[in-house]
Structure 1
Amino acid sequence: MYPSEPTQTEIFNNIIKYGNKPETLEEMIIRYIKEHQKKIPNFEIGQKYYDQEPDIVRDPPSKDATGQVDPLKPDDRLITNFHANLVDQKVSYLVGKPLEFKYLDNKVIEQINLALGSRFDDKLHSVLTGSSNKGIEWIHPYIDEEGELKFFRVPAEQAVPIWKDREHEELEAFIRFYKLDNEMKVEYWDETFINYYVYDNGSLIKDYSRNFNDKQTHFSTGSWGRIPFIPFKNNDAERSDLFMYKTQIDAYNRRLSDTSNMFKESNELIYVLTNYDETDLSEFKRNLRHYGAIKVSNIDGGVDTIEIKVPVENTEKYLKMLYDNIMLFGQAVDFSSDKFSSAPSGVALEFLYTNLNLKADKLARKTKVAVQELLWYVIEHHNLKVDYKDIDISFNYNKVANTELQVQMAQSSMGVLSHETVIENHPFVEDLEAELQRLEKEQIELNKQVGDIEEGSDEQEESEDRKSR
């Protein structure tokens, strides 16, 4: 697993060193796809837990002492949505509010926002949810038939990156494979060309359905000069958040389900039979239900009962311990905590967000790198005269805050900080540029009203002067 995997350059060097027959391009593609397919279960498991399909729903039914499944035995499979809640909390905390781009020239920012479109923030939210579930997700910039730059989300299951380096920072090539019309389509991308294949009977053949026999450039008029697939990584290890607390969730679901099953059986009694003259227990149950009586073999025979008691108190403590562990290992903010009932503010509120900040900051760093790379395509396509590295990217963390305290701090900062800085950090302001434009418009209207009043006052004074003469 990364970062111990060999790079493609190292693989080629080993082929040369040991004198093995070099692979053809098609053989290499097949090898990479087979290696990638082994990782797909790790991608899918995070998504399954997010979709409320944890392991417990796929566990085989419980069996009796004879090894047979008892259809009458309660077998509840209660599940929780811890993983979905934790992922949604982190992603919404990070990009629940739109990203903010800053540059010296506001016209450049306007062009970037227009190029990204109104749906970009929603797409980013979906991509980061996917990377949190799988460890990595991809965006593919492409130019559509009308010449417009668009962005397509590529699931991690379909994406096979070939990296140049151990840090997974630069792509050597990229393979995408997917099913379409009952065929396995395979694409091999390098910095200039795309090879299209169909995977059939363990080998690759050219995809002639695309009406060309050779390589194709990235778009009709040329290529990007780089591989147009952008990784959105969840963390350095490219691993799902699920593995931080999966065993705790499984234990919680199992104990919750076992408790439910015990409650369903708790109304029944365990019968202790002494000198019962029948050996068939089902016959005993029928006689008891039908006649309300049973026969015993001698005077020493009889029936005692044992009542099943559910250990509710111990179960509550155990579930509470698991819940606390999930919140801790998931680096979450527990809004059900009684600490929020006292309306914490200032340092106390920041302390409650400490773990979530740590987790979100890791994702923010990876996301910033990916969005910067995405901006390169925007700038390149629209021929903007700016270096994409000079565009500042800011995340507006969607944090619960003491609004009254923030307003008071903003008011007390007037005259100490610039007017723009105070407005930017005011809790009621979501779009700084829009707010500044509204203030400017209000100021123009106010100046106009003041001018009209002064003009009217001057006319009144002139009229009075004429009358006095």
Structure 2
Amino acid sequence: MWQAENIKFSSDLSPATVAQIIVDNGKTSPVIQDIRTADRYFDIHNDIERKTRSYFDKDGKSIANPAANNARIKSNFLRMQVQQKQDYGFAKSFVIKLSTEKQSEIDLAEDAYGLEWKNFLDKILYKMTYRLAGQAVNHGIAWCYVWINGNGELNLEDLKGDLVYPVWKDRQHVDLNSLVYNYFQLEYKSLEPTKTEFAELWTETEHFKFDVSDGYKDVPFFTDSHSHMTNGVSWEKIPIIPLKSTDDEKPLVLFIKDYIDSYDKLISRSIDGLIDDLDPMLVFKGISPNVGDLIEARELAKMTRTISLDSDGDASYIQAQTSVDAHLKELETLKSDMIKFSYGVDMNDARFGGNPNQLVIKSLYQDLDTYTDGIERHFQSFIDQLKYFFDKWYEITGRGSFAEAQEYKILVKLDRSMLINQSSLIDDTVKLQGTGVSQKTLLEFNPVVQDVELEQKRLEDEKAENDIFRLDSEPNKKQDSDGKEV
């Protein structure tokens, strides 16, 4: 991520030196800083938190004004847009299909390899994918560590994005050459913890752990081997898989940060203006401009409701008028632009009112759909990479051979959470009857059907019951000596 050019490490360099080079470059990378900015705005710690109210004295020096109202209104717009995309593409369980050259579609429940995938999906993958999708949208890329637990089960763990420093083999960021995971660990030996920094270096065949706080001292694993696995078996690939949201791995905040900052500033300044303007300005004529004299005269006017001035003096109030309508209009414009440039859907759009047909709804979701098309393509790449480790695990645990598992292909399809006009879609389903479309396709198209496989079984059961009822209800027919019914 942080590299601008292809990087090659000399074979003379020790693994500790390679790790140090990657960490030193990764920590100062603008890409990592962008990820941290994304996290900050996702947690609603926007730049508006640093807003101050000040004035300039006669020497041009900025002086903080504690008497002035200083609203710091933070919008949670980034969080809403990230979660909208996360929920739209991954809130529902995605569809996964297996095939081989001999079979175009394989029922997961009826195949030994498919059944292992089904169990993995239900226990691990659905939940982890939802987490990774949110991180991918927010950071531009998410990282998933693949490992085998003590019970021999395949597991996934998401890694904190701003602590992962990858080195790619290619400019397109397809294949990893090496990767460092740089993190801190707290250890309590007393009431005060000891904070230690570590760097784990991964290559295709080896895994090292270094104590950064102790000059990159090698930290041994449970065995002396630097293999990916403690039993000496290697994955033969770095067991950390990226899930990208876009080709260029850009955090969503980069496209809308200026709009968020402008929105926060405008609404905060508007509130400052409204509060400041609640009290009118008191204007004196014929009194010393000295600040102390002005404050004394103002306080006296507040207490006694009277003002004493020279014969040529005067005093009056001026009520400032803040243009609330103009500010509201500008806020709506900024909000609309933020939704547009973040590929979102404005759920307050007037076209959602009434009873919009499905064509109108699809047009409202067009930008979000386009964005989701891209992340769905990257998700397919993620599953393809995950399948390699799944197939290795399949062999390591004695479930079958790696070569046999590699013959299977996986296709994933996201089940998008678009608002639908159910009556319109049901009408369309009815129109498709008798057009040559299969019963299974009709069930998939029908919005009322939540589980196609279950619905098919229900139809089969009903058909079987009806056939039995029909046979039982037929009257007993008699035959004559020639075998004819009478």
User: Shared fold (TM-score greater than 0.5)?
Assistant: yes
Matches within 5 A, 1:97-176: 97-103=92-98, 104-106=105-107, 107=111, 108-176=113-181
- Residue 220 of structure 1 and its aligned partner are, at CA, apart by 2.6
Q: Percent identity, aligned pairs only?
A: 20
> For 1:223 and 1:195, how far apart are their aligned partners in 2?
13
Query: What is the match of residue 201 of structure 2?
Result: 188
1:374 equivalenced with 2:386 (yes/no): yes
Partner of 1:422 in structure 2? 442
Residues 1:413 and 1:277: Cα distance change in structure 2 (over 3 Å)? closer
In the alignment, structure 1 residue 390 sits paired with structure 2 residue 375:
no
User: Per the alignment, do residues 164 and 65 of structure 1 end up closer, same or farther by CA in structure 2, a change over 3 Å counting?
Assistant: same
Contact 1:140 1:153 survives alignment (8 Å) = yes
* Number of corresponding residues: 445
CA contact (8 A) 1:276 1:295 kept: no
1:87 deviates by 1.2
Secondary structure at 2:55 match in 1: coil
Confirm or deny: 8 A CA contact 2:124 2:156 kept in the other structure: no
Structure 1 residue 313 corresponds to structure 2 residue 325: yes
After superposition, residues 41-440 of structure 1 pair within 5 angstroms as 41-57=33-49, 59-66=50-57, 67-103=62-98, 104-106=105-107, 107=111, 108-181=113-186, 182-200=195-213, 203-208=215-220, 210-220=221-231, 222-276=233-287, 279=290, 280=292, 281-296=294-309, 298-383=310-395, 385-387=404-406, 390-416=409-435, 417-440=437-460
- Rounded Cα–Cα distance in structure 2 between residues aligned with 1:356 and 1:278: 59
Contact 2:51 2:70 in 1 (8 A): no
The list of structure 1 runs, each at least 4 consecutive aligned residues, that deviate by more than 4 angstroms after superposition, is 211-214
Superposed CA offset, 1:177-218 (max 9, x none): 2111211122111222211211125x200114x454552433
Q: After alignment, is 356-365 or 378-387 more displaced?
A: 378-387
Determine the C-alpha separation between the residues in 1 that align with 2:21 and 2:320: 57
RMSD of aligned C-alpha atoms? 2.3
Matches within 5 A, 1:30-45: 30-39=20-29, 40-45=32-37
Deviation at 1:119, TM superposition (A): 4.4
Q: Give the Cα separation in 2 of the matches to 1:436 and 1:48.
A: 48
For the 8 Å contact 2:135–2:142, the answer to whether it is kept is yes
**C-alpha distance in 1 between matches for 2:318 and 2:203:** 73
Structure 2, unmatched stretches of 5+, are 99-104, 187-194, 480-486
For residues 251-276 of structure 1, what are the alpha-carbon distances to aligned partners after superposition, in whole Å with 9 as ceiling and x for unaligned? 01110011111111111111211112
* Pair 1:83–1:277, CA change in 2 (3 A): closer
TM-score, normalised relative to structure 2: 0.86
Q: Partner of 1:173: helix, strand, or coil?
A: strand
Q: For residues 109-158 of structure 1, what are the alpha-carbon distances to aligned partners after superposition, in whole Å with 9 as ceiling and x for unaligned?
A: 33212023334222211111111111111011100111111001112112
Whether the 8 Å contact between 1:372 and 1:388 is mirrored in structure 2 is no
> What one-letter code is carried by the residue in structure 2 that aligns with 1:393?
V
Distance 1:382 1:435, change over 3 A: farther
Contact 2:82–2:134, Cα closer than 8 Å, also in 1: yes
Query: Quick one: structure 1 residues 110 and 405, their matched pair in 2 at CA, closer, same or farther if it must change by over 3 Å?
Result: farther
Matched residue SS, 2:73: coil
Answer with 48-57 or 144-153: which moved more: 48-57
Q: 1:341 to 1:68 in 2, by over 3 A?
A: same
Task: Tell which deviates more after alignment, 212-221 or 265-274.
Answer: 212-221
Contact 2:225 2:232 in 1 (8 A): no
Q: 1:419 to 1:177 in 2, by over 3 A?
A: same
Distance 2:25 2:168 in 1: 14
Q: Match of 2:174, SS?
A: coil
Structure 1 unmatched runs, 5+: 17-21, 463-469
Q: TM-score, normalised by structure 1?
A: 0.89
